[in-house]
Every structure is written in structure tokens, then in C-alpha cells.
Amino acid sequence: MGSYIVSIPDSFGPRILGFRRKDGPDLFATLDDDVVLEHPESGVYRFRGGHRLWAAPELPAVTYAPDDEECEVSYGRGLVTLTGPVDRAGLSKRLVVTAEGSSLVVDHTLTNHEPEARELAPWAITQFRMGGFALMPLGRSESNVQGDRSLTVWPYTDLSDPRLEMDQSSLTVAAEPGPAFKIGVGPNPGRLGYLLDGWLFLKEIALAFDRPYADRGATGQIFVENKFCELESLGALIRLAPGERVSHRELWSLTECDGIETARQRVVAV
């Protein structure tokens, strides 16, 4: 698609398993089928690597619903649409990938097929190979008298973890094996990045400031453990009536980058 090669399966999903420039490496993780998340309320979810769509807030019976069935893949001029079946949580998921200049637009849509209304949000998650650096702006404003941003941490997050580095404008997490670590930023990180093998992946996200968000407003999130590192973005929470849908957009790009300081500048730049 455009200057990118995108790998898309049809035997499960919707997923995007690979994303690279025609002359560059694929930064996405590729995981064996034994890398799973198993919960009695949901069954076995296979991570597989690459990019996926979940539903927030994180409720095992809903969020971890497996996506092992075939999905429909259709192609148009400059775009591809991936549509999954209704899962055991009563949701269907769709990804629409569109080439736009030097970027890809990835639209994520959740549709409620349950007979009752429910509150949820699209949650877009990209898994990367280990060995790089995940970067996220802190989203500073021009105000000097009011709080303008927040950090969200999870019960297992250790803020003294040596993989975390923070300065005035951004935070960096080294994708090295270790205990599970997750951190989120709100309300407006704007973009997230991953630097590996001399290439910088960027995802830009658009926010709806008039609506609430899950995870204490952490619209951008980074997660790392032993086998992969994730860049995650959230859409706003919305109450979906039966048959209604909600969408969330990311803008992807992949460029050569000569080091971590250049990567920070590109991620933080507005």
C-alpha cells in the first residue's frame, strides 16, 4: 500500500501482522501460538503479534474474547477492509487501512450486537519486537498555574524500573525483558513512537476532549514484558445502543532515524 508492505491474515482477526517500508525491516513482533492470555471468563486469546483491536475498559469477558475465526478481507483502490465475525462478547471488529501520502490511516470500529446498550471504547494495540525504545510525549500545555497532564500506573507498575526514563517533555521505555511494566499519559500525548534497527514507527492519534476516557484518562499507553513491547491508544468511552458502532483513528508512518535523541524530537514535535 503506497510505499509500505502490509501483511494481513484472513484465517483470524481482524489483525495486521506486518508493516514495513519496501526497503526496511518489519518492527512488528511475531509470536508463537503459545503466547496467550487465558481467563475463565473469555477463553484463550492468542497474541500472535502485530496490531489488534480490543475494547476498553479492560474486562476479561469482553476484552479478551478470542478472534480465531476467519475474517472478511476486501480490497478497494488504496484501501483494505478487514471485518471480523461477532465474537463471544457480542462485538464485531473492523479495521480499514488506507494509504494517504507517506502514511497509512488505520480506522478501528467496534459494533455492539448485544440486545442491551453498553459503555466501551476502541483500544488500538501494536506489538513490537524487543530491543528498541518506546517513546511517548507528556503533552504539556502553556499553563503555569493548573495541572495539565497525568500519568497512569497499573498495580504491577514499578516506577523505579530502570527501563523507564523521563524528562520534562517525554518518557522512554527500553524494550528489554523483565517484569510486566505499563504506564499511560493523558490527556493529549498526540503520538507514540517505537525506535528499532534505525527506524522509527509513529502512530498519531486524534482525541475527543468533550468525552471521558478509560484508564484514568490515559489516552496513550506503553506496555512491556518479556516477549514484546506495545504502543496503545484509546478512543473515548461511549454508550453504544444495540447495532451502534464507534470508531477510532490512528495515522501510521515509518521513517529512518539515526538515534534516540532524533526519535524523541520527532515524537515530541508538534
Cell numbers linked to 248: 477510532
**Topology adopted by domain 4-268:** Beta-galactosidase; Chain A, domain 5 (2.70.98)
Q: What confidence tens digit (pLDDT) does each residue in 168-224 have?
A: 999 999 999 999 999 999 998 999 999 999 999 999 998 877 789 999 999 999 999
Cell numbers linked to 230: 506495545
Query: What is the model's pTM?
Result: 0.96
> What residue type is assigned to position 223 of the chain?
F
Q: What confidence tens digit (pLDDT) does each residue in 227-267 have?
A: 999 999 999 999 999 999 999 999 999 999 999 999 999 99
- Contact assessment for residue 108 and residue 249, using Cβ atoms and an 8 Å cutoff: yes
Q: What confidence tens digit (pLDDT) does each residue in 131-144 have?
A: 999 999 998 766 67
- Contact assessment for residue 127 and residue 47, using Cβ atoms and an 8 Å cutoff: yes
Taking Cα atoms as reference points, which of 264, 262, 256, 229 lies closest to residue 24?
Answer: 256
Cα 256 to Cα 23, 35, 132: the distances in Å are 10, 30, 14
pLDDT value at residue 209:
75
Q: Where are the alpha helices (DSSP H) in 57-176?
A: 60-63
Torsion, Cα 231 237 243 245, to 10 degrees, reads -50
Q: What confidence tens digit (pLDDT) does each residue in 5-43 have?
A: 999 999 999 999 999 998 899 999 999 999 999 999 999
Cell numbers linked to 2: 503506497
- What's the rounded Cα separation, in Å, for the pair 31 and 33? 7
Name the pLDDT band for 64 (thresholds 50, 70, 90). very high
pLDDT value at residue 238:
96
Phi, psi of 3 (to 5 degrees): -95, 10
Cα 31 to Cα 74, 90, 189, 254: the distances in Å are 25, 27, 28, 21
Domain ranges (residues) in the chain: 4-268
- What's the rounded Cα separation, in Å, for the pair 79 and 97? 5
pLDDT value at residue 5:
96
